Chains A and B, each alone.
Chain A
Amino acid sequence: MTDQPIKAIAIGASAGAVQALLKILPALPEGYPLPVLIVVHVPPDRRNALVSLFQTKCVLPVKEAEDKERIIGGTIYFAPSDYHLLVEADGSFALSLDEAVNHSRPAIDVLLETAADAYGPALVGIVLTGANHDGAVGLRAVADGGGMAIVEDPTVAQVPTMPAAALAACPSARPMTLDDIIFTLSKMATT
């Protein structure tokens, strides 16, 4: 990791996502300066209920990411269901209906790869619990771009497959418990 200040946090989660995120996101305090960009695998034909769920649990504003929206610090953004969420170099979102990646749309790889491209060393990428391999290639891109790569410790994750795959693809990633992740993210608020 470099001394460059962190500008964004990108998180991917699949099976077990809601429970893991219910620990992390409500712990982010008022005035938290960084934007948090999240892809959760959700079924395509259902209205995305994540935003309303987390709005009631979080201090920070929670919203669905919109196409061409400028990314603002201290906001939690969820990818809309059935669209890929991408980050542009100018710090705004783009959506796409390109084919599913790893059988998923939104795909964690797409968010992490484009965020790594946009933020480089100023990005923290996190792969949480899940039952597939999405996010592994993306987390590697985060590390290759100089960013900080974190996986939920596969020995304690609710479903270890996804963080284990990410760790295998990106051996420099740090395995952490959810509590460690919360601690790490809160430290970033003060630097």
Chain B
Amino acid sequence: MQDDIKQHGVEDIEIQLLLEALYQRYHYDFRHYARASIKRRLIQARGQLGFASFSAMQEGLLHDPSTLPRLLNYLTVQVSEMFRDPDYFRALREKVIPHLRTYPSLKIWVAGCSNGEELYSLAILFREEGLEQRTIFYATDINPDALRAAEAGVYPLDQIRKFTESHQRSGARSSLSDYYTADYGRAVFDKSLRSRVVFSDHSLVTDAAFGEMHLISCRNVLIYFDRDLQDRALGLFRDSLARKGFLGLGSKESLRFSQHAPSFSDFVREEKIYQRQDS
């Protein structure tokens, strides 16, 4: 039993070293990600990529660059849904859009866009509300495979029923089927939805603020960060928002523990939509 306990301690050291190697060799910085999640994902990666230990994985990572993309897919890729939490999208539609309508041009940032489900949800919502043509969407992620998937906009057909239900519950003004074509078990979303989208590699951990955004939507990304890193990301959002710009977080995320809380006010409290204040 004591050996097991020691073994745990050794694994934690190995994980620390592996994350350090990942950062120093490739500049991907997971050192301040919430450790319990990262550890579970690394254990999964170790098994499925066939490494005997995290030390062996570290060696593979340092000497064989083909290890990197395979590992990144375990560390970053997020299963998501279109119009996840329909009430959030309904609140954007009913409470935030009326403010956005008053601007002649709009910049929207989907931070940590993963495979693009949230991006397409917003693009559809903005088209339905007649704002798409004056909007530029920035969709960013650190994982190049995820960005490629987001740019492709192809999702398994068996998810579409759920997406459609959620879309309807968000106050839809159209049918989701207007936006995709079914093809061999896949739903291929209309490329015109991407005509106003800029896809870009950007890290909330190491990169700087960009643009004067009117809305930043970053849902269920911050839960994977530790408190220090959450604070950094929220500071980045504060610096990237136009005056009175909006920030939307995931339903279990909040500004409560952040030093940046005074820079924001609750806009739709129950949907975690905040507004940038001058302070």
Show the binding face of A for B, using Cβ within 8 Å.
66-68, 80, 83, 86-89, 94-99, 110, 113-114, 117-118, 120-121, 144-146
Contacts and interface: CB of A to CB of B under 8 A. Distances in A.
Given A89-B35, A99-B79, A117 B8 contact: yes
A117 B36 contact: yes
B224 to A, nearest CB: 7
Interface string B240-273: 0000000000001110010000000000000000
Contact of A97 (B4, B35, B220): B220
A76 B276 CA distance: 35
B253 A67 contact: yes
B32 interface: no
Interface in B1-29: 1, 4-5, 8, 12
A86 B226 CA distance: 13
B107 interface: no
A145 B223 contact: no
Contacts of B34: 86, 88, 94, 96
Contact of B36 (A80, A114, A121): A114
Contacts of B222: 67
B78 A97 contact: yes
A67 B257 CA distance: 10
Given A87-B36, A88-B34, A120 B223 contact: no
B40 interface: yes
A155 to B, nearest CB: 28
Contacts of B194: none
B37 A86 contact: yes
B8 A120 contact: yes
B39 interface: yes
B252 A80 contact: yes
Given A68-B257, A145-B8, A94 B36 contact: yes
A144 B1 CA distance: 7
8 contacts: A83-B223, A86-B34, A86-B40, A94-B34, A95-B252, A97-B80, A114-B39, A120-B8
Given A86-B37, A117-B36, A94 B223 contact: yes
A121 B5 CA distance: 9
Interface in B196-249: 220, 222-224, 226-227, 230
Contacts of B79: 97-99
Given A86-B34, A117-B39, A66 B252 contact: yes
Interface in B51-89: 78-80
Interface of B: 1, 4-5, 8, 12, 34-37, 39-41, 78-80, 220, 222-224, 226-227, 230, 252-254, 257
A146 B1 contact: yes
Given A67-B223, A68-B257, A95-B252, A146 B36 contact: no
Contacts of A95: 223, 252
Contacts of A146: 1, 4-5
B40 A113 contact: yes
A80 to B, nearest CB: 6
Contacts of B5: 120-121, 145-146
Q: Residue among A94, A110, A113 with the most chain B CB within 10 A? A: A94
Given A67-B253, A88-B35, A96 B4 contact: no
Nearest to B39: A117
A97 B223 contact: yes
A97 to B, nearest CB: 5
Contacts of A117: 8, 36, 39
B8 A98 contact: no
Contacts of A118: 36
B4 A67 contact: no
Q: Which 9 A-B pairs have the closest CB atoms?
A: A86-B36, A94-B34, A114-B36, A96-B37, A95-B223, A67-B223, A144-B4, A97-B220, A88-B36
Contacts of B257: 68
Contacts of B4: 144-146
Given A98-B40, A117-B39, A145-B4, 12 more contacts: A67-B222, A68-B257, A83-B252, A86-B40, A88-B36, A94-B34, A95-B252, A96-B37, A97-B78, A114-B36, A120-B8, A121-B5
Contact of B40 (A110, A120, A144, A145): A110
A114 B230 CA distance: 21
